[in-house]
Chain A
Amino acid sequence: MQFEVDISKTVGDSRRRFTLAVRFATRGPRTIVYGPSGAGKSMLLQVLAGLKRPDRGQLRFGDETLFDAARGIEVPARARRFGYVFQDYALFPQLSVRQNIAFGLSDGLRNPTAHVDHKAVNRWLAAFELDGVAAQKPHELSGGQRQRTALARALVNAPRALLLDEPFAALDPELRARMRHEMERLLDEVNIPMVMITHDPEDLRWFGADAIHLRDGALETPPPRPSVVVTPFERARG
């Protein structure tokens, strides 16, 4: 399953305006969108998720058209079934870890109860070692626990793809390295396409098999390889 993207979107007013205009198709299962802040990375990810509507163009995932301005097609975010991890996680502050993870299991008008017991919830609580903090609120968690809760919440519904917005930016450097490891393992395990946006060259080195470089809302020819140092160790890891 790959994304085929050909969209443009302009935001702002007459004084300050920004245009995102990109055309690309993802190749492998892991795609890094890399660029400085203000390049339009978040906007691109929100377009993929259906949280922002492009002005024109089309967007396909596999053989499904998610958006087509000319034909008036727009699959709403809630029907796209993508897992999305926000940069600061956007965990619901009034809900416990367990309730946060169970949130997407029902689309009704009531939040899951504190004792919600569901196979998928229990599975991810265990997989991410969150059992011990299942009843706690997000503000009581460590940075790593928050990130894992956000990932579990995104994965509980078996999404078709995982969209990650700077998933490591909010962590301190030591934790960052560990979470990259965990993410790597997780991606192997869930085996769904992943699009990660980042401004951190380290993420690019780690996950960047297929990287899209974004600057000022447009694709940039990737800089020559030397700026991306691949150590023999990592090459061996594949």
Chain B
Amino acid sequence: MLSLDPAWPALALSLKVATWATLLNAVLGVAAGYALARARFPGRELCDALLTLPLVLPPTVLGYYLLVLVGRQGPLGAWLKDSFGVSLIFTWQGAVLAATVVAFPLVLKSARAAFESVEPQFEQAARVLGLGEWGVFFRVTLPLAWRGILAGLLLTFARALGEFGATLMVAGSIPGRTQTLSVAVYEAVQAGQDATANLLVAITSVTCVAVLLTVGRLAPGRVAPKAV
């Protein structure tokens, strides 16, 4: 007997969490990538290393950091509670926070590389033609870097979709509320519900392969056209 009950809410939640994490990183990761690519300041590489940390830290360690930060006793958590009456622990928003932080380096790295591949001469040409810095960014830099950035955002989506460790630490595993796809897989295997586990695993795998194929189509070739 197939017991699919936990599968669909978990998939819906995972998609929601991954979408939010991707949107947040589209702003935060792209901004940070641009800053690291263009700004000259001491400690730039250290900054890059610290921001890349989520890529190499065990997700459980990262989850623990986040718990310390946004838990009831944490500096950010206490402030959120006092100011807005909001607590992120054991909520789907907490899962978004975890997924965003875990996937952040993927956007950061691709955005930085994409921005660095834009020849500064195009930006200079825009400046002498009368554009301010916002105009230069939105009319020249971003259009020339978008392929690399989009590839990074798709990777972020895939990574966020599969997030497990940090999500479990911060959001827990409340079926229908904070139980994401990958957490549901774990629960299903623990409970011996092989059919559910198989379905969940198949959904996750297909989604991730589709994302990687899309990234593969975007990444090679002309990421940023050269000057002609």
Interface residues of chain A, those whose CB is within 8 Å of chain B, are 46, 49-51, 76-84, 86, 88-94, 103-104, 107-111, 138-139, 141, 146, 153-154, 157
**Complex alpha-carbon distance, A59 and B165, angstroms:** 60
B46 within 8 Å of A (CB atoms) = no
Binds A, one of B18-26, B33-41, B120-128: B120-128
Q: A78-B130, A78-B132 known; A86 and B125 CB under 8 Å?
A: yes
Residue of B whose beta carbon sits closest to that of A156: B129
Do the beta carbons of B139 and A110 come within 8 Å of each other? yes
Most B Cβ at <10 Å: residue of A78, A82, A91? A78
B228 within 8 Å of A (CB atoms) = yes
- Contacting residue for A109 out of B124, B130, B139, B227, CB 8 A: B139
**Complex alpha-carbon distance, A104 and B128, angstroms:** 9
Contacts of A107 in B (CB 8 A): 130-132, 135
Contact string against A for B residues 101-139, beta-carbon threshold 8 Å, 1 for contact and 0 otherwise: 000000000000000000101101111111110110011
B218 within 8 Å of A (CB atoms) = no
- Pairs across A and B, CB under 8 Å, 6 listed: A86-B125, A88-B227, A90-B124, A90-B227, A94-B143, A111-B143
Q: A90-B227, A93-B225 known; A109 and B134 CB under 8 Å?
A: yes
**Complex alpha-carbon distance, A91 and B128, angstroms:** 13
- Contacting residue for B127 out of A77, A89, A94, A110, CB 8 A: A77
B interface majority secondary structure: helix
**Complex alpha-carbon distance, A90 and B140, angstroms:** 11
**Complex alpha-carbon distance, A158 and B66, angstroms:** 57
Residue of A whose beta carbon sits closest to that of B146: A94
**Complex alpha-carbon distance, A138 and B144, angstroms:** 14
Q: Told that A77-B128, A78-B131 touch, could you supply 8 new A-B pairs with CB distance under 8 A? A: A78-B129, A93-B226, A94-B144, A94-B225, A109-B134, A111-B143, A138-B228, A157-B130
**Complex alpha-carbon distance, A125 and B127, angstroms:** 22
Q: Nearest Cβ distance between residue B140 and chain A, in whole angstroms? A: 7
Contacts of B122 in A (CB 8 A): 90, 92
Contacts of B138 in A (CB 8 A): 109-110
- Contacting residue for B128 out of A78, A89, A94, A109, CB 8 A: A78
Contacts of B119 in A (CB 8 A): 90
Do the beta carbons of B124 and A111 come within 8 Å of each other? no
Q: A86-B121, A90-B122, A111-B143 known; A153 and B129 CB under 8 Å?
A: yes
**Complex alpha-carbon distance, A77 and B131, angstroms:** 9
Q: Nearest 4 CB-CB pairs, A to B?
A: A104-B129, A93-B225, A90-B125, A84-B128
**Complex alpha-carbon distance, A83 and B131, angstroms:** 13
Q: Nearest Cβ distance between residue B144 and chain A, in whole angstroms? A: 7
Residue of A whose beta carbon sits closest to that of B227: A88
Contacts of A86 in B (CB 8 A): 121, 124-125
Contacts of B128 in A (CB 8 A): 49-51, 77-78, 80, 82-84, 154
Q: Nearest Cβ distance between residue A186 and chain B, in whole angstroms? A: 18
Contacts of B134 in A (CB 8 A): 109
Contacts of A141 in B (CB 8 A): 228
Contacts of B228 in A (CB 8 A): 88-89, 91, 93, 138-139, 141, 146
Q: Nearest Cβ distance between residue A176 and chain B, in whole angstroms? A: 18
Do the beta carbons of A90 and B130 come within 8 Å of each other? no
**Complex alpha-carbon distance, A88 and B228, angstroms:** 7
Q: Nearest Cβ distance between residue A88 and chain B, in whole angstroms? A: 5
Q: Nearest Cβ distance between residue A13 and chain B, in whole angstroms? A: 13
Contacts of B227 in A (CB 8 A): 88-91, 93
In chain B, residues 136-190, which have Cβ atoms closer than 8 Å to a Cβ of chain A?
138-140, 143-144
Q: Nearest Cβ distance between residue A24 and chain B, in whole angstroms? A: 22
Do the beta carbons of A81 and B130 come within 8 Å of each other? yes
Residue of A whose beta carbon sits closest to that of B138: A109
Contacts of B140 in A (CB 8 A): 92
Do the beta carbons of A103 and B126 come within 8 Å of each other? yes
**Complex alpha-carbon distance, A182 and B143, angstroms:** 33
Do the beta carbons of B124 and A108 come within 8 Å of each other? no
Q: A93-B228, A139-B225 known; A84 and B125 CB under 8 Å?
A: yes
**Complex alpha-carbon distance, A145 and B117, angstroms:** 26
Q: Nearest Cβ distance between residue B214 and chain A, in whole angstroms? A: 20
Contacts of A104 in B (CB 8 A): 129-131
